[in-house]
Amino acid sequence: MSANPSNDALARLNYFNGQRLAASDFRSEQAYHLGVRRLLNRSLYSAGIVKGLEVLKHPSDTHKVMVRGGLAFDHLGREIALLADAEVQVMGAPSTTKGVVFGNLLAVSYREQRTQPAQDGCMATVPGQACAGDLAWGAPTRIAADVVFEFLDSWPAADSGKVVLAQLELDATCRVERVMPGVRRYAVPVKPQQVRGVSLEGEKDIDSANPKVLYFHVDGGFPSEVTLYLRARKFSSLYYTELGRHTHHLKFNTGAAGGTPSHTHPLELGGIALAEAGEHRHEIWAFSDDKQSGAVELGNNNEGPWMLTGGGGEMGGRANMEIRPSGKHTHTVAPGSMPSKTGEGGTLSPHTHAIDQNSDPTGVQPDTRAGTALGYVDKLRVFLDGQDITLPLLQQLAAKPGQAASWAQLGDGSNGHALASPEGTGEVDLLKLGVEIGLGQHKLEFKVLQPNVGGSVQYNLYVS
């Protein structure tokens, strides 16, 4: 289809009763609505990408790229609408030097196609005319607004109708090495936008468990510049004023002691049963005061019995009392029924006391961080809106004159890396890292993924 504007005027139908309508009348009606909408589009916005249309490497075919669905305007205000993701076969010139690309510009443009033809052989006639060719029946029944992808060697002219989506770096076998989105151009209001400027700076101590999450908002229009600066600094050597919760383990023996002054050991056992004894009895010998009687019962009205305390010279007769055998039995000492001491007095043989216990926990935190002390960050990772942009960021830094050998990674855990220098990364253009930064909220994250590694990161972010 020609990219030149139509010569048709913006005319709409004037309906009235009894009016006879032909196909040309309906085409005029469509042309009116299309023309007004496209006039508004090109009057309010420049040509460029409105939404989406990001270009990504194909997940399985290295000779193709994926173009996300989206919308763009061409210079005539026509809508270049891609309603679903599309695969595009790559074409172009391989790069002879890694990182250097000429051409290989992927562009998209508007196209119309007439589809679904209908032909039934009938023909409408006009009274008084043998044949009216413009009224013949049968034609394509649909006009499909489609898109065309193509690769260009140079930047297209402003009135070509082509919108550039990305530039591709190809290796010697025409496989996609890298997708560079820095050539993308967005549709912007013809009246200059007033983007609300953003300027953020700060410092954060990070490790694998404590990333830095930075939110920023783009308001007022699409930004023309989003610039990031990063520097690594040593983790603070100051002591914390709060001590983590911890215990002290106590394990030692007291010195050997013996011949100590009298002391006791509490007896805290209960229900002690004495060893079983064999059959036995207990005898008690007693004498009566009655000298005339040889046998007096105990418990009579005499003066009562006397216990024998010595031999010979018994007074009166001698009575014999006995406790009859009771068979084998034991005696149980219940708790509290005997003194709770092992005895007092005397000296002890030399002995020691073993102590093997933990002290009660102390401190304000549930635990403390294990591992070596933190210093400088090692292999810092940067994420933008959830997408890892570390690799394209490093490629941008390495492309600076004389910097190729300094940016294999972001930090190496020492103060000798370029990230730890006073300049740090210098300027990093986030608009050229493959993630679209449009209106609304965005999130930057700085992470260290290895355990027991971390340090301090300083950052500056400018949006204009």
Tokens encoding 278: 């064999």
**Residues 146, 147, 148, 151: what is their CA dihedral angle, to the nearest 10 degrees?**
-170
d(CA 350, CA 425) in angstroms, rounded, equals 73
pLDDT single digits (tens) 236-271: 876 555 566 677 777 777 766 655 555 555 555 555
Residue 1 confidence class, pLDDT cut points 50, 70, 90: very low
Question: Which long-range contacts does 137-144 make (Cβ < 8 Å, 24+ apart)?
Answer: 139/23, 139/114, 140/114, 140/115, 140/116, 141/115, 141/116, 141/117, 142/114, 142/115, 142/116, 143/112, 143/113, 143/114, 143/115, 144/112, 144/113, 144/114, 144/115
Q: Is the dihedral of CA 28, 34, 37, 38 positive or negative?
A: negative
pLDDT single digits (tens) 306-335: 444 444 544 444 444 555 666 666 666 555
47 Cα distance to chain centroid: 39
Check residues 82 and 24 and name the one with the higher pLDDT.
82
- DSSP class of residue 266 equals B
Which single residue is written with the structure tokens 């190809």? 170
Quote the pLDDT of residue 293.
Answer: 44
Q: How far apart are the first and last CA of the chain?
A: 39
Q: Which domains does the chain have, with CATH numbers?
A: 45-183 (no CATH), 198-235+374-463 (2.60.120.380), 281-328 (no CATH)
Q: Are 92 and 104 in contact (CB under 8 A)?
A: yes
User: Do strands 139-152 and 105-118 pair parallel, antiparallel, or not at all (unpaired)?
Assistant: antiparallel
Residue 381 confidence class, pLDDT cut points 50, 70, 90: very high
Sheet of strand 139-152: strand arrangement: 139-152, 105-118, 162-170, 176-180
Residue 276 confidence class, pLDDT cut points 50, 70, 90: low
Quote the pLDDT of residue 437.
Answer: 86
Check residues 331 and 83 and name the one with the higher pLDDT.
83
Indicate the SS3 state at residue 404.
Answer: helix
Q: Are 334 and 257 in contact (CB under 8 A)?
A: no
Lowest mean pLDDT across 69-83, 119-133, 304-318, 416-430: 304-318
Q: CA-CA distances (angstroms) from residue 134 to 23, 137, 176?
A: 9, 9, 51
Quote the pLDDT of residue 331.
Answer: 62
- DSSP class of residue 146 equals E
pLDDT at 84 over 70: yes
d(CA 121, CA 314) in angstroms, rounded, equals 162
Residue 275 confidence class, pLDDT cut points 50, 70, 90: low
Q: CA-CA distances (angstroms) from residue 30 to 9, 24, 49, 247?
A: 12, 10, 25, 83
Q: What are the beta bridge partners of residue 454? A: 207
What global pTM score does this model have?
0.44
pLDDT at 419 over 90: yes
pLDDT at 439 over 50: yes
What are residue 451's phi and psi, to 5 degrees?
-70, 155
Which of left, alpha, beta for 146 (phi over 0: left; psi -120 to 50: alpha)?
beta
**Amino acid identity, residue 174?**
C
Quote the pLDDT of residue 266.
Answer: 56
pLDDT at 383 over 90: yes
pLDDT at 105 over 80: yes
Average pLDDT over residues 427-448: 88
Quote the pLDDT of residue 137.
Answer: 62
pLDDT at 71 over 70: yes
pLDDT at 169 over 80: yes
The closest alpha carbon to 409, from 427, 391, 385, 431, belongs to: 391
Quote the pLDDT of residue 97.
Answer: 78
> What count of other Cβ atoms lies within 10 Å of the Cβ of residue 288?
23
